[in-house]
Structure 1
């Protein structure tokens, strides 16, 4: 019996040590695990964006790099908050469609992503997001539309809670980054150790703009219930667009732009 108790105690110590070790590893490496900030930067000259320009936006003593194109007269401008992976430049097809339909746009890389130097953190991403919005507001008299995709739903929701835009579109958003982490690692105390939590669930409650949430039922990165629950918290909900069978990166091909334009028209005409 003594031997059995010793073996059980040793096993318990091993399990606890391993558990604490996993928590410590995730705590000290959490930003490397959370963000995927690698990728090539596409040159603006390699796109069909003939009316766009490269811009540098000041943000807390740093600068973030982006592209800006003005809208046609009488049209609005989209400030686009990118997702978690690669550079904003990889989504040039989107910006080309925006411009072709007369919309202006501003898209950029947060600090630490390929086109912008600096350190990645929630604090810096939110500061960059506000700086971009304010830069655009000072640059253009056109109505501003906010579009946030995936990780970008965090800064988009935050900015919409702090500024008065015309509309907020959230593509594959999370309820919070904390919620996604808790779903992926249910046995870990993520609420105690996670630094960059992106509390969309709190920010959305202060969003007065009309909100469209788009999500896919086959999203394996951010479960569709995140979008549904976030939409339910919006004070001014306009549309919840759920695409059956769509994954995390499928909504552009599924026609989100054709869904976005009527939404923006409704918001502009309110």
Structure 2
């Protein structure tokens, strides 16, 4: 019995040590695990955006790099907050479509992502997001906000502290810590995670009309995140759930055909 007790205690100690090591590793390396900031930057000259310009806007202790194009008369500028993977420039086909339909846009990399040197943190992303909104607002055009995936965090934050015409959230999370907990329910992510992006709290202060878009086959951010977030929206416009769509499928599945009438409705309010 004593031997069995010693074995049980030893196994328990081993489990505790391994668990503590896993938590420690996650804490120390959490931003490397949370963000996917690697990728090539597509040169503007290699796109169909012949009227766009490269911009470099001071933000915090660094400079944010992106692209901007003014809209046609009477149309708004889409302030686009990118997702977690790679550079904003990889989504140039979206911006080309925006421009083709008369919209202006500003899109950029947060500091620490491929086009904008620096280190990544929630504070830095929110600072860059607010800086770029203010930069666009100074151009004098109406602004609508589009946040995709990770971008649902800064876009909702900005909408809660600034005035825009509309907020579109594509594959949003309820909060980043919610997603982390759903993936690692055995880890104390709520206690150790630094960049939690509490969208569920910020949304309460968003007065703009909101469209939430999500896909039922999204394994990166589960569709229930979008559904639960939309339930908290003060000024609801539309919840579009696309059957069978994964995390990166909504553009091909027609989100633009939902976004345009949404923005048109918002512009008349």
Bin of the TM-score, shorter chain as denominator length: over 0.9
* Unmatched segments (≥5 aa) in structure 2: none
User: What is the number of residues matched between the two proteins?
Assistant: 269
User: 1:41 aligns to what?
Assistant: 41
| Cα deviation code 1:118-173 (max 9, x no counterpart) | 000000000000000001111x2111000000000000000000000000000000
**Which position in structure 1 is the counterpart of 2:113?**
113
Secondary structure of 1:63's aligned partner: strand
Is 2:265 the counterpart of 1:254? no
In structure 1, C-alpha distance between the alignment counterparts of 2:131 and 2:57, rounded to whole Å: 7
Structure 1 counterpart SS, 2:89: helix
- For residues 50 and 265 of structure 1, what CA distance do their matches in structure 2 show? 25
Partner of 2:165: 166
What is residue 25 of structure 1 aligned with on the other side? 25
Tell me the residue number matched to 1:125.
125
Residue 186 of structure 2: SS of its match in structure 1?
A: coil
Q: Which runs of 5+ in 1 are unaligned?
A: none
SS in structure 1 of the partner of residue 251 of structure 2? helix
Correspondence 1:64 to 2:86: no
Take 1:61 and 1:145, find their aligned partners in 2: how far apart are those partners?
A: 27
What's the counterpart of residue 91 of structure 2?
91
Give the distance between the partners of 1:53 and 1:61, measured in 2 at CA.
23
Using the TM superposition, give the Cα deviation of residue 57 of structure 1 relative to its aligned residue in structure 2, in angstroms. 1.0
Q: Equivalent residue for 2:2? A: 2
Secondary structure in structure 1 of the residue aligned to 2:245: coil
Alignment of 1:140-219 (within 5 A): 140-219=139-218
SS of 1:58's partner is strand
1:169 and 1:243 mapped to 2: Cα distance? Answer: 15
| Cα deviation, residue 242, structure 1 | 0.2
Alignment correspondent of 2:51? 51
C-alpha separation in 2, matches of 1:258 and 1:52: 23
Alpha-carbon distance in 2 for matches of 1:61, 1:120: 12
User: What is the distance in 2 between the residues matched to 1:207 and 1:258?
Assistant: 24
- Deviations, residues 212-269 of structure 1 (Å, cap 9, x unaligned): 0000000000000000000100100100000000000000000001110000011111
Deviation at 1:61, TM superposition (A): 2.8
Distance in structure 2 (CA, Å) of the matches to 1:54 and 1:218? 36
- 2:78 is paired with a residue whose SS is strand
- Deviating above 4 A after TM superposition, structure 1's stretches of 4 or more consecutive aligned residues are none
User: Aligned equivalents of 1:60 and 1:7: distance in 2?
Assistant: 55
| CA RMSD in angstroms, aligned pairs only | 0.4
